[in-house]
Structure 1
Amino acid sequence: MSCRLLSADLGTTSLKVMVLDCGGQVEGSASEPIHTYTDGGNHEQKPSEWWQSFRKACSTLQSKGIGLDVDGVVCTGQMEDFIPFKDGRAETAVLYSDTRGSRGLTKRHLPPDVVTAFTGNDWKATTPLMKWLADECPERWDQVLFGSKDYLIYHLTGSSVCDPVNGTVTGMMDIHTRAWEEKLWEGSGISRRQLPRLLEPEETAGYVLKEAASQTGIPAGTPVYCGLGDGGAVTLAASAHAGDGQGYAYAGTTGWTAVPADTLTVSEEGSVFHLAAPQHGRFIKIMPLLNMGNVHQWAVHTWCGGDFEAFEQLMAEQVSVPGPLLFIPYLNGERNPVIDEKARGAFIGIDGQVTQSQMARAVLEGLAFSLKQTFVQAGIASSTLFLVGGGTKSRAFRQTVADVFQCRVQVSAEQERLASFGAAACAFRAIHTCSWVKAARAVQSVEEKDIIVAPDVSKKEELEQKERLFTEAAGRMRGLFDT
């Protein structure tokens, strides 16, 4: 059952491309940075730069002597993007973190309960993208894509596709039938022909075109599989470590807690989101956080000039915190459990003796408290927390999470590649016609020793008291900055 695959993960901050065999061995990988153009609440990237980065990564692999004559190409990446095309060209990609789409949007043409019945989510959770589609200069586009990986597929094959995982977040897909539902956009001016084809993650999207082959080095005619959005890809790969059906936490630029589910549980305020899982009839329950690694990075730049190791050393200083110093990490608004795009961060409990080290520690504690709130919402109780994402590089963050959760934290030795492994599982399943569990385990080695962090039990009482104060203070941030 051998095969070679090229898997690409186009995230918010970087593009990772790797070639692997189906024994969990990575032959080689290459990474390129991705730039985000921000202006207030505007968060955009340039699709042309995505393609340039992909070409450069392929060239880097070849310069290392790694052949790209693979059995298949599969991609994953950031979800909930709005990528408008006009005459086959895409000038910009509006990211999920962009807040313009929700401004002034207070209702839909369908009652909220009808929207929820179709999408599996609170109607407010799926309206921002609809706002763009219906109101933002529709004459400027004749076709649209919803995920970064779908742009790579378009350039490789000429096909416009979307997977059910990412289709969920558009607010236009019936989560039960995994098909576009016209009633959800009726009267908006959107036509079905403007939307990409919905394909299952393991279905073939197309084949590498001659022009794409000449630009990337991937042979023309190589099959390209649909793949899936990064939320689904990480969940699929994490199941090989945490166990199928177990929840996990993601600490990247943004964050989330996710747990596979057989039923939908719609929250009153939409702070719990559902994705269609790769498996038919199953769902992924997501509790998203807008503030995670981005806040950690802000703290590193604020106190250590961008030097992460210096920040780690600052956190290692043994200092007593005078009183209940707290940090509310809502620097970028928040989606969970406080749903407020205008929310902002705050230090609480500062006195004249507070040091930089104590403030830095409060930042990481605030992130861990925020993450724990999502676990409470998900109803997850476990002696071990499986933690993934770029934030796990930080020893201080890993330990802080273990202390706040008062449980072991397990970090995959290959955690930065989990999304790529999850995408590769789609291609493996297509080629070998096997179960999702077998595919997820086949494309990654689970023999590497994961990092295990034990909690400091002496901090249990102190952190529980802080957590109660954090929960109360965070709740009061809702609506505070509306005026």
Structure 2
Amino acid sequence: MKYVIGVDLGTSAVKILLVNQNGEVSNEVSKSYPLIIEKSGYSEQNPEEWVEKTKAGLAELIQQFDGDINDIEGISFSGQMHGLVLVDQNNEVLRNAILWNDTRTTPQCQEIYDTVGKERLLEITKNPALEGFTLPKILWVKEHEPELFERASVFMLPKDYLRYRLTGNIHMEYSDAAGTLLLNVGERNWSSEILESFGLTPDFCPPLVESHDLVGTLTPESAEETGLAETVKIFAGGADNACGAIGSGILSEGKTLCSIGTSGVVLSYEERSDLDFEGKVHYFNHGEENAFYTMGVTLAAGYSLSWYKDTFAKEESFDQFLEGIEEVAPGSNGLLFTPYIVGERTPHADSMIRGTFIGIDAAHERKHFSRAVLEGITFSLNESLEIFRSSGKTIDTIISIGGGAKNETWLQMQADIFNAKIEKLTSEQGPGMGAAMLAAYGCGWFPSLKECAQEFINTSKTYHPIPENVEVYKNVFSIYQQVYNQTKEMNDQLRAFRK
């Protein structure tokens, strides 16, 4: 039996999957590492932690492997997007990596708009200037740490730095490069216009490759430290959301992913690079060659539910806490929740808006509040789907993963609110599986990623929209969409009382 390895470099841990030719996970290892938060709004990590923990995880995986290490043919990577790693001319790291969830760069986002223009930025990069992206981080270092920045030779993203340390070769692939605000997403090259606007040179950017491209083999040192063969093939990999899409089979027009974790994501496959969403949703290169995806984000999706449970029933399990929601009719007996408890991202990029319960009645019990929270999270995600559909997209099938796929009532709710068929997967491994699939495709196991997905990914259950529920939810959703504008001013006034 042949094997590949998928390495998912996340924000809190690296997860490593050993996957066989049938798409079965033979073993998995996870190693955590800390965040460095020096002050409010800052979020950094030491890149050396990624390297040490990944090598340790690979070594543990190999120690537990009772086959021939030469049967492990390939490794590929998924990684947290947007994080900035700066290295000098000797490829030595100059400072801690600044991560995707670091929010110190608001002035630099405005600088980008002032220099490039909002419309021109959207034309080139397909995305607005948000604090999470890489270019604002580069400009922050250039402004606040100029002597250090003078020594910077090239920038990398987290998984690309990890891969460099394993192979000695520097590359970046399109799906991660699309989240830097330096890539011309449609033309698939570094934008000379944006680079020149900020005094950056093309040499500052790594060579671009496809996600399935072979970019090297292990260095002798890395092979010795991990126990892997030096000949194992290393493939470029993809951004975590792109790999999550691949690992869920989002590889054809009409296929859409709903992933509910701490935040929530709806992501839809795109064949074209010329659609115009006016920056309301993200628009990135996919991990599949010459493909793209659009993505909307709810900042507090699963977090809204965990906040609600921990506030009112900390000791209960989620299953206990959600008991009775199936008895409540769609619309939660006139109770509405908006999940803006930490601000919102799509379609309202507003860090100051806050959540609401509206319509509280003496007849409401806990089960009504619980169902309203689930409905509110799903309504927020549906706003992104409506943006996709308004561009003419047909969305008929949605793969649901994460916390939203763990409750039968919530899965049916998604089918009814999204008015689409919802599919739950037999085995859900997310971005790590997508990385493994890129390695399998790169190794030549399959002629395409689509055919790999047909072998590796299976649906366990399908939920169809119930027409009468769809109609109810259309009416409630129209009320939900009014809440943001009608509560924005009140929330602004309430800011003075928040501590």
TM-score of Structure 1 vs Structure 2, range by shorter chain: 0.7 to 0.9
- Please say if 1:173 is aligned against 2:192: no
Indicate the SS of the match to 1:334.
Answer: coil
- Please say if 1:468 is aligned against 2:478: yes
Give the aligned partner of residue 102 of structure 1. 106
Structure 1: distance between partners of 2:197 and 2:85: 21
Q: Residue type of the partner of 1:294?
A: Y
Report 1:84-99 matches (<5 A).
Answer: 84-85=86-87, 88-89=92-93, 91-99=95-103
Give the aligned partner of residue 130 of structure 1. 135
Report 1:32-181 matches (<5 A).
Answer: 32-33=31-32, 35-37=34-36, 40-66=40-66, 68-69=69-70, 70-85=72-87, 88-89=92-93, 91-103=95-107, 105-106=109-110, 107-119=113-125, 121-124=126-129, 128-136=133-141, 137-141=145-149, 142-143=152-153, 145-181=155-191
Mark the CA change 1:391 to 1:211 in structure 2 (over 3 Å): closer, same or farther.
farther
TM superposition shift of 1:468: 1.7
TM superposition shift of 1:37: 4.9
Given that residues 333 and 340 in structure 1 are in contact (C-alpha distance below 8 angstroms), is that contact kept between their aligned partners in structure 2? Answer: yes
Spell out, residue by residue over 1:404-431, the C-alpha distance to the aligned partner (whole angstroms, 9 max, x if none): 335442111122x242232233223333
Structure 2: distance between partners of 1:229 and 1:144: 19
Give the aligned partner of residue 302 of structure 1. 311
2:342 pairs, out of 303, 325, 332, with 332
Alignment gaps of 5+ in structure 1: none
Give the aligned partner of residue 422 of structure 1. 434
TM superposition shift of 1:301: 2.3
- Please say if 1:227 is aligned against 2:240: no
Given that residues 253 and 292 in structure 1 are in contact (C-alpha distance below 8 angstroms), is that contact kept between their aligned partners in structure 2? Answer: yes
Spell out, residue by residue over 1:228-278, the C-alpha distance to the aligned partner (whole angstroms, 9 max, x if none): 1122222233337x855422222233222222222422223x112211133
Tell me which moved more, 454-463 or 392-401. Answer: 454-463
Give the aligned partner of residue 415 of structure 2. 402
Spell out, residue by residue over 1:304-341, the C-alpha distance to the aligned partner (whole angstroms, 9 max, x if none): 32654345544547457885222111223222111212
Tell me which moved more, 40-49 or 405-414. Answer: 40-49
TM superposition shift of 1:73: 1.1
Give the aligned partner of residue 497 of structure 2. none
Structure 2: distance between partners of 1:149 and 1:477: 40
Tell me which moved more, 292-301 or 331-340. Answer: 292-301
Given that residues 118 and 174 in structure 1 are in contact (C-alpha distance below 8 angstroms), is that contact kept between their aligned partners in structure 2? Answer: yes
Mark the CA change 1:131 to 1:449 in structure 2 (over 3 Å): closer, same or farther.
closer
Mark the CA change 1:307 to 1:58 in structure 2 (over 3 Å): closer, same or farther.
farther
TM (norm. structure 2) is: 0.84
Indicate the SS of the match to 1:468.
Answer: helix
Give the aligned partner of residue 274 of structure 1. 283
Structure 1: distance between partners of 2:332 and 2:249: 41
Give the aligned partner of residue 375 of structure 1. 385
Indicate the SS of the match to 1:41.
Answer: coil
Mark the CA change 1:283 to 1:37 in structure 2 (over 3 Å): closer, same or farther.
same
Tell me which moved more, 70-79 or 184-193. Answer: 184-193
Give the aligned partner of residue 257 of structure 1. 266
Q: Residue type of the partner of 2:216?
A: G
Structure 2: distance between partners of 1:63 and 1:390: 32
Report 1:447-462 matches (<5 A).
Answer: 448-454=458-464, 459-462=469-472
Structure 1: distance between partners of 2:277 and 2:262: 25
Given that residues 164 and 198 in structure 1 are in contact (C-alpha distance below 8 angstroms), is that contact kept between their aligned partners in structure 2? Answer: yes
Mark the CA change 1:208 to 1:306 in structure 2 (over 3 Å): closer, same or farther.
farther
- Please say if 1:203 is aligned against 2:213: yes
TM superposition shift of 1:227: 0.8
Spell out, residue by residue over 1:72-109, the C-alpha distance to the aligned partner (whole angstroms, 9 max, x if none): 11011221222334561365333323222224632242
Given that residues 266 and 272 in structure 1 are in contact (C-alpha distance below 8 angstroms), is that contact kept between their aligned partners in structure 2? Answer: no
Indicate the SS of the match to 1:275.
Answer: strand
Given that residues 304 and 311 in structure 1 are in contact (C-alpha distance below 8 angstroms), is that contact kept between their aligned partners in structure 2? Answer: no
Mark the CA change 1:186 to 1:424 in structure 2 (over 3 Å): closer, same or farther.
same
TM superposition shift of 1:439: 5.1
Spell out, residue by residue over 1:107-147, the C-alpha distance to the aligned partner (whole angstroms, 9 max, x if none): 2422333333322x144358953222123324335256554
TM superposition shift of 1:395: 4.0
Given that residues 236 and 440 in structure 1 are in contact (C-alpha distance below 8 angstroms), is that contact kept between their aligned partners in structure 2? Answer: no
Structure 1: distance between partners of 2:132 and 2:456: 40
Give the aligned partner of residue 496 of structure 2. none
Mark the CA change 1:33 to 1:316 in structure 2 (over 3 Å): closer, same or farther.
farther
Structure 2: distance between partners of 1:127 and 1:455: 35
Mark the CA change 1:177 to 1:449 in structure 2 (over 3 Å): closer, same or farther.
closer
Structure 2: distance between partners of 1:143 and 1:482: 43
Q: Residue type of the partner of 1:99?
A: T
TM superposition shift of 1:386: 1.7
Indicate the SS of the match to 1:71.
Answer: strand
Q: Residue type of the partner of 2:339?
A: P
Report 1:352-391 matches (<5 A).
Answer: 352=362, 354-379=364-389, 380-391=393-404
TM superposition shift of 1:471: 0.8
Mark the CA change 1:10 to 1:37 in structure 2 (over 3 Å): closer, same or farther.
same
Q: Residue type of the partner of 2:261?
A: G
Structure 2: distance between partners of 1:191 and 1:338: 34
Mark the CA change 1:456 to 1:300 in structure 2 (over 3 Å): closer, same or farther.
farther
Given that residues 173 and 209 in structure 2 are in contact (C-alpha distance below 8 angstroms), is that contact kept between their aligned partners in structure 1? Answer: yes
Given that residues 79 and 146 in structure 1 are in contact (C-alpha distance below 8 angstroms), is that contact kept between their aligned partners in structure 2? Answer: no
Structure 2: distance between partners of 1:13 and 1:253: 13
Mark the CA change 1:126 to 1:177 in structure 2 (over 3 Å): closer, same or farther.
farther
- Please say if 1:440 is aligned against 2:452: yes
Structure 1: distance between partners of 2:339 and 2:43: 19
Given that residues 71 and 222 in structure 1 are in contact (C-alpha distance below 8 angstroms), is that contact kept between their aligned partners in structure 2? Answer: yes
Given that residues 210 and 220 in structure 1 are in contact (C-alpha distance below 8 angstroms), is that contact kept between their aligned partners in structure 2? Answer: yes
